[in-house]
Structure 1
Amino acid sequence: MNARSLMRAKRARILITLVVKGALLLGGLPPSACAFDVFGAAASVPPTPAGEFADTDAAHSCQFVPLGAPLRLAEAVNRALCENPKTREVWANVKIQAAAVGVAKSAYLPTLSASLQDGRDDATTDVKGYSRLSSVTRSTLYSGSASANWILYDFGGRKAALANAQALLAAAHATHDATLQTVFATVATDYYAAQAAAAKLELAKETESIAYDSFTAASARVTRGVAAISDQLQAETAWAQSTFSRVKAEGDLQIAIGTLAADMSLRADQPVAMPDAEDSVVPDNAFAETVTAMIEDAQRTHPAIAAARAKLDAAIASEQQTRAEGLPVFSLTGRYSQNNQPASLGLGEPHLPSTGRDWYLGVQVQIPLFEGFGRSYRIGGAHAQAELQKDMLDEARQQVALDVWKSYQLLQTDTENINNAATLLLVTQRSFDVARHRYAAGVGNILELLSAQKALSEARQQRVQALTGWRAARLQLAAKLGRLTA
C-alpha cells in the first residue's frame, strides 16, 4: 500500500473514532442537553403543571415550604395543582403534543444521512496447479457516502399532518386547562368541607359544654328536692348524646383533613390547621347575570368544549392526511459516495490501488398504485372518527349546559339559605336563653330547656353548613363556567 492510501486510511480511522466518541458523549447527556428546539415547541408548554394558575408571586412556582397555620385556600389550590397526578399527566401530554408539532414541521426540511466504513481486507485465492493464478491481497479499505432527500410536493399531506398536530396540541392545552379547573374545584370543595368539619367540631364541643351545664343545673335542682329525678336523667341523656356527637365530629374532621391532604399529594396523617368558618369569602353577587347568559357563555369558552372542538379539527385534518398519503410525492434526491476498493485486471493479476466516486442528483416521484384497498378503509375510518368527534362535541355542549344549570340553582338555594340560617340562629339563641332562665327560676321544665338546647345546636351547624356550602357552590359554578382563576 502506498503512502497516499495509508494517509487516507488513517484519516478514516480518526474520523470514525471521533464519530463514535461523539455519539457516546451525546448518549450520556440528558435529553435536554442534546435537543435543539429550532421550531420553538417548548415555548408552548407551561413551565409547571399548574399552568396559568401558578403562583406568580412566588420566587419559584411549585416549590413549597411547610404548610402554613392556618392553611389558606390559595395555598391548598397551588399545592394540589402542582402535585396532583392528574395535572401532571395532562401537562406531560401537552409536552408530547408540542413535540409532535415539531415533528410535523420538520417534514418540510430536507433529510441528510451519511455512511462511513473502514476495514481490513484479507483476500487469498489458491488455484491448484496454476500457481500464477493464485493471489494474496491484504489492504485497508474505506468507503463513504452522503445522501439527501427533500420532499417538494405531496398534495397537502404535510400540511394536513401539521394541522392535525396543532389541533391535538390545542386540545391538549384545553384538556390541561379543564383538568386544572376540575382539580381546583375539587380541592376547594374538600377545603370547605374540612373547614366546615372543624367548625362543627367546635360547635359540638360547645354543645357538649352546654349540655353538661344543663345536667349540672338539673342535678342541683334534684338535690334540693325541687325537681324530679327524671329531669336529671333526661339532662344526662342529652349530655351523653352531645358527647357522642362530639366524638363523631372529631372523626369526621380527621377524614376531611386526610382527604384535603391527599388532594395536595401529602400523607393523610399530615396535620392541617383550618381557619375559622367565618374567616373566608362572604356572600356577594359575583354571578348576577341570568342563567341563560351563563350557559351561552360556557358553551363558547369552556375548556372542555374547546378540547372537544380541537379534537374535531384534528380528526378532520387526519382524514385529509390519510387521503393525501394515497397521492404521488415529488422529491429532490441526491447522493455522493467514494471508496478505495482495489481494482484488478483479472484472475491472478495483482490488485491495483484505485479510487471510486459516484454521484447523482434528480427528482423522484413515488406513486402508490395499489395497497390492497387498505387506503379506502383507512379513509373511511378517519371519516368515521371525525363524525365521532363531532358527536362528542355536541355531547360536551349539552353536559356543560346541564352542569351550569344545576350549579346555578344550587348556588341560588345556598345564597337564600345563608340569610335563613342567620335568622334561625338568632331565634334559637334567644329561645335557649329564655328557656335556660326559666328553668333556673323554677318556672320552666327540663323538656323545654333540652328542646331549645337541641334547636340551638342544629341552628349553629346549619349556619356553618350554609356558609361553607355557599362558598363551595360558588366555586363549583365558576368551574362549570370555566371561569376559575388562581
Structure 2
Amino acid sequence: MSRLIVDRARGIAMAAMLCLVALEAWGEEAPAQQRQCLDASSQPHGSYDLPRLLDMAQCLNPETREAWERTRQAELAVDLVRSSYAPQVSLEALGGFQRTPLPIPTTLLARGYFTADTREFIPSVGVKWLLFDFGRRAGLEATARANHAAAEVAYNGVQQRLVFSVTRAYYDYQSSRDQLRAADEAVTAAQTIQDATDAQRRHGRATVVAEAQAERQTALSRLNQVKANGAVRTAYAALIAAIGLSADTQLSIGGTQGQAMPSLPDEAVDHYVQKALAGRPDVRAAEARVKAAEGEVQSAHAAYRPVVSFSGRYYQNIGALSTDGSPYYSINKPGGAVFLNVELPLFDGGARSAQLSMAHSRVQAAQDQLDQVRDKVAQEVVKAYNDLRTSLEAYAEAQAFSHAARVAYEAALDAYQHGVGTYTDLANDEAVMAQSESALTSANADAQIAWMALALAAGDIRVTP
C-alpha cells in the first residue's frame, strides 16, 4: 500500500514538472544583448584620445549603467505581461488528520451522532488559464512595450549626454593646457623684456622705474602661470569625473593637434529642428509615454467587459476513514474537476469609471508633456545653431587678433632692443599678445564644444552599442 502511494505521488509530480518545462519553453526568448565592458580604470596605459575616452566613459559611467538596468527592467516587464497569456500550473499536496462528529438519526444510533476519523494525503496538479479578457492584457502589453521603447531611447539619450559631457570636459582640459602654454610663453616674453630692460639700463637708456616695471611684469606672468597650472589640474579632475573614473586615476591625455575646425552648418536651422523633432531621444521617449498611457485607457475600457477563464485539477485521494473506533477503510483513487468561469462585474461603486477617467487624464498629461518637450527641443536647436555660428566667427577673428598681436609685439621688442622704442609700448604689446593667445585657445575650445552641442541638440550624436 505505501509503495503504491509513493508511486502515484511520484507520477503526479513528474506530470507537473513536464508541464512546467513545456510552459517555460513556450515563453522563452533570447536574452537581451549585454554590453561588454573592460575595466580600464585599473591599469590604464598609453595616450588616451577623445574616442578612447568616450569608449571608457560609456563602459564605466554609473549613469549609463543605471539607464541600461532600467531598460532591462522594462524589457522584463513586457515578458511579465506576456506570461499572463499562458496557463498557470501548480503542484499542491494536502495531508492531515481530522476527527468529525456527525449527526445520525436516533433510529439508527441511540445517541444521535457518530465520530469519523479521517487520514488524508491528496497530491494534485492544478491548471488556471485566463482565456478571454477582451483587451485587458492587450492594453497592459501595449503599455509595457511603450515603456520599454521609452526606456531604450532614454538610454540612448543618456549615452548622448555622456558623450557631450566628456567631449566638453575634454576640450575644456585641452583649452586649459593651451592656456598654460600661453602663460608659459607670456613668462618667456616677460623675461625677455626684463633682460632687454636690464641691458638698456646698463647702457643708460632705461630708467630704474622701467627696470622695476619689467620685474613686476615678469612676476605677474609667473603668477598667471601658476593659476593656469591650477586650472589644468581642475579641468583634468572634471574630465576624470565625467568619464566615471576615481579621482586619483592618472591618464595620459592626447592632444588635438591636426584636428580640423568644424565648419559652418550646411543646412538652415529649420533642417536641424525637424531632425531633432523626428529623432531626438527625449522626443521619442515622450511619444512612447503617450502610447503607454493609451494602453492604460484600453485596459480601463476592457474592465467593463466579461472575463472568461478555465480551471482544472487532477488529484489522487489517498486516505482512510474510521467511524466510532472501527478499523480504517482505505481509498487510493484518482479524481478531477474542470470548470469554465465567466465573470462580469456589475457594480463596483464607480471604481472602473474613476480608473478610466484617470487613464484619459494620463494620456492628456503625456500629450502636454510631449508638446513641452518639442518646444524645448526647438529652442535648444536654435540656440546651439546660433552659438556654433558665433563661435566659428569668433575663432576667425581671434586668429586675426593673435597674428596681429604677435607681429606688433615682435616689432616693439625689436625697436626696444635697438633703443628706438619705449618700454611702455613693449609692455602693452606683450600684454595684448598674451591676451590674444588666451582668446584664441578659448575660441578654439568654444567652437569644438558648440559643434558637439548642435549635434546633441539635433539628436545626431552617434554612440557605440
| C-alpha distance in 2 between matches for 1:80 and 1:267 | 12
Number of the residue aligned with 2:20 = none
Question: Which of 10, 30, 47 is matched with 2:34 structurally?
Answer: 47
Number of the residue aligned with 2:40 = 64
Question: Pairwise mapping of residues 427-466 of structure 1 onto structure 2 (< 5 A)?
Answer: 427-466=404-443
Superposed CA deviations along residues 71-124 of structure 1, whole A, max 9, x for unmatched, are 2111111111221121111111110010011111111111111212456x5979
Question: Which of 289, 292, 314 is matched with 2:292 structurally?
Answer: 314
Q: Taking structure 1 as reference, are residues 134 and 327 closer, same or farther at Cα in structure 2, changes over 3 Å only? A: closer
Tell whether the 8 Å contact from 1:432 to 1:452 is kept in structure 2 after alignment.
yes
Q: Taking structure 1 as reference, are residues 400 and 138 closer, same or farther at Cα in structure 2, changes over 3 Å only? A: closer
Question: Pairwise mapping of residues 213-362 of structure 1 onto structure 2 (< 5 A)?
Answer: 213-285=192-264, 287-344=265-322, 346-362=323-339
Residue identity in the other structure for 2:319: Q
Matched, 1:418 2:371: no
SS at match of 1:341: strand
Residue identity in the other structure for 1:8: L
More displaced stretch, 416-425 vs 171-180: 416-425
Q: Taking structure 1 as reference, are residues 165 and 138 closer, same or farther at Cα in structure 2, changes over 3 Å only? A: closer
Q: Taking structure 1 as reference, are residues 216 and 371 closer, same or farther at Cα in structure 2, changes over 3 Å only? A: same
Residue identity in the other structure for 2:188: S
Displacement, 1:62?
4.2
| C-alpha distance in 1 between matches for 2:115 and 2:336 | 32
Number of the residue aligned with 2:147 = 168
Displacement, 1:265?
1.5
Q: Structure 2-normalised TM-score? A: 0.89
Displacement, 1:269?
3.0
Q: Taking structure 1 as reference, are residues 40 and 440 closer, same or farther at Cα in structure 2, changes over 3 Å only? A: farther
| C-alpha distance in 2 between matches for 1:300 and 1:122 | 70
Greater RCO between the two (CA within 8 Å, min separation 6)? 2
Displacement, 1:424?
1.2
Alignment RMSD, CA only?
2.8
Tell whether the 8 Å contact from 1:100 to 1:165 is kept in structure 2 after alignment.
yes
| C-alpha distance in 2 between matches for 1:90 and 1:193 | 26
Displacement, 1:217?
1.4
Q: Which runs of 5+ in 2 are unaligned?
A: 18-22, 102-109
Question: Which of 363, 384, 390 is matched with 2:340 structurally?
Answer: 363
Superposed CA deviations along residues 228-268 of structure 1, whole A, max 9, x for unmatched, are 11111111121111111111111111111001101122122
Q: Taking structure 1 as reference, are residues 469 and 216 closer, same or farther at Cα in structure 2, changes over 3 Å only? A: same
Question: Pairwise mapping of residues 152-191 of structure 1 onto structure 2 (< 5 A)?
Answer: 152-191=131-170
Superposed CA deviations along residues 334-364 of structure 1, whole A, max 9, x for unmatched, are 11222212134x3232221113443222311
Residue identity in the other structure for 2:458: L
| C-alpha distance in 1 between matches for 2:380 and 2:402 | 32
Tell whether the 8 Å contact from 2:12 to 2:124 is kept in structure 1 after alignment.
no
Tell whether the 8 Å contact from 1:196 to 1:277 is kept in structure 2 after alignment.
no
SS at match of 2:253: coil
Number of the residue aligned with 1:208 = 187
Tell whether the 8 Å contact from 2:197 to 2:214 is kept in structure 1 after alignment.
yes
Superposed CA deviations along residues 166-212 of structure 1, whole A, max 9, x for unmatched, are 10000001111111111111110011001111111121112112111
Residue identity in the other structure for 1:106: S
| C-alpha distance in 1 between matches for 2:128 and 2:118 | 37
| C-alpha distance in 2 between matches for 1:124 and 1:152 | 39
| C-alpha distance in 2 between matches for 1:114 and 1:161 | 28
